[in-house]
Chains A and B, each alone.
Chain A
Amino acid sequence: MTRIYLDHAAAVPVDPRVIEFAQPFLSQIIGNPSSLHSAGLAARQALEEARQKIARFINAEDEHTILFTSGATEANNLGIRGTALRNKTKGTAVAVSAIEHISVLNPVKDLTKQGFTMVSLPVDSTGCVKQEDLSNLVTKDTILTSIQYANNEIGTIQPIRELSKIIHDHGSYLHVDATAAAAWIPIDVRRDGIDLLTLSSNDLAGPQGAGVLYVKPGIKLQPIILGGGQEKGLRSGTENLFAIVGMGEAARLIQQEQHQERHRLQPMRDTLIKEILTIDRSFLTGHPQHRLPHHASFRFSGIEGESILLNMDIEGIQISTGSACSSKTLEPSHVLLAIGLKHEEAHGSMVLTLGRSTTPDQIPQVIQATKKTVDRLRALSPLTM
């Protein structure tokens, strides 16, 4: 049986061209970028070239705005904790959309132990931040507002440029987690009015273990990892050169190929949505238009998401779910609850994310397997709602 991988929001296969490009940094170029000898300088050179590629990728002012971290979770932690703690004399409220990634929500929750207030920004039923509420909830005491570019569970894209204007009118910094969006939407931190931005290497088809925090010139942060003073003292620790060099190259390739890949995948995604919604009592989650081009997400009444995942896996198709049973906390997805779903509705979700390996001939198989799975599980279920 051929296996079809539709969980690119969770992990992306590393681009073979990236592996080839970065491979010398595992064993041939062995210097530490902090060493002054020629091996160290070669490593330093590669590190700085990766930094320039990332700066170009997001149209940053210059490469000095780019800090490398171990991944998006660390970049979110540094962006949020670092900014809030360093600037707390200017304000002690931190505003976040209700559907942020857990690596944004948890650092903000933790800041409340140190005297900060957490303000949750509601979203509508499609997952868009409610602009009319933003003006009241972001105040002059709000030091930082964090809103993701797009959501990994429901695919909704936020109108960041418009939100940025409102947030800046109140004097707050804007942090944007672009982890889910960066491979699909051209990001321009200057056009979009972004002060801090998070990127993940693997979401760009780069190696796991690297991420980026962009910090607009002039914004001061406090480090959260202390040590030898790498990355301008804001992220100590010897750089993961293989992953960082790979991330830079991955970003360069995405920048060249994004438009084409988007137009290749979107029609396949549209067919998936159209056909899967012909299933009785099936619903799209997230925004019908303003959504990531590779992203299709649904919920089905009367059945449970982990069962959907297991059944689809047996059919050869790897998908994701926001079901409570598939999570470590056994809580249903906070994203699905925030868009107004009841607990019993949030249990039956399925998320499909397409990627480079996706081909048109896979789409009918996925539709067929989904119909079979829903029919089978509904035949076992006592629920008729």
Chain B
Amino acid sequence: MTQVGYSKKVMDHFMNPRNVGVIENPDGYGKVGNPVCGDVMEIFIKVHNNIITDIKFRTFGCGSAIATSSMVTELAKGKTLDEALRLTRKDVADELDGLPPQKMHCSNLAADALHAAIKNYQQKQKLK
């Protein structure tokens, strides 16, 4: 049967999002999207020995925006920065058992937010 609407996994991450919140004094911070477009995501990371040891997010957006944010934090936690940088939007969608086609672009910015946070961390390291 063709699946209509969101997968069970998307709904689970929407209703029970993992790693919600803010990290005070994060090692890296990334923010993507725009309230005008209806999606804003921010990700905070803590890094130790090149590994993402803690990660939190906050998201304004639709069901898939919240679910992909939650999923990307779960995927990134415990990974090295290089591994986390290799996570793609598609990886996130696949882990959620897929997203409706029209959601693949606009509400699937979570990997971008993660990459922005890592790059912010790397930038700060260079300046040290």
Contact = CB atoms under 8 A, between A and B. Distances in A.
Interface in A308-355: 310-311, 314, 323-326, 328, 330, 332, 342-344, 347
B62 A314 contact: no
A344 B36 contact: yes
Contact of B63 (A306, A383, A385): A306
Contacts of A71: none
A344 B42 CA distance: 17
Interface stretch (B9-17, B85-93, B118-126): B9-17
Taking chain B's interface residues, is the majority helix, strand, or loop, or is none over half, making it mixed?
A: mixed
B79 interface: no
Contacts of A324: 38
A302 interface: yes
B6 to A, nearest CB: 8
Interface string B100-113: 00110011000000
Nearest to A327: B102
Nearest to A378: B60
A301 to B, nearest CB: 10
Contact of A302 (B15, B60, B107): B60
Contacts of A344: 35-36, 38
B20 A379 contact: yes
17 contacts: A304-B65, A307-B61, A310-B14, A325-B64, A325-B103, A328-B102, A343-B36, A343-B37, A344-B35, A379-B20, A380-B17, A381-B58, A381-B59, A381-B60, A382-B40, A382-B41, A383-B60
Given A307-B63, A310-B14, A330-B102, 17 more contacts: A302-B60, A304-B38, A304-B60, A306-B63, A307-B65, A314-B11, A324-B38, A325-B61, A325-B62, A325-B65, A325-B106, A342-B36, A347-B35, A347-B38, A381-B59, A381-B60, A382-B41
Interface of B: 6, 11, 14-15, 17, 20, 31, 35-42, 58-66, 102-103, 106-107
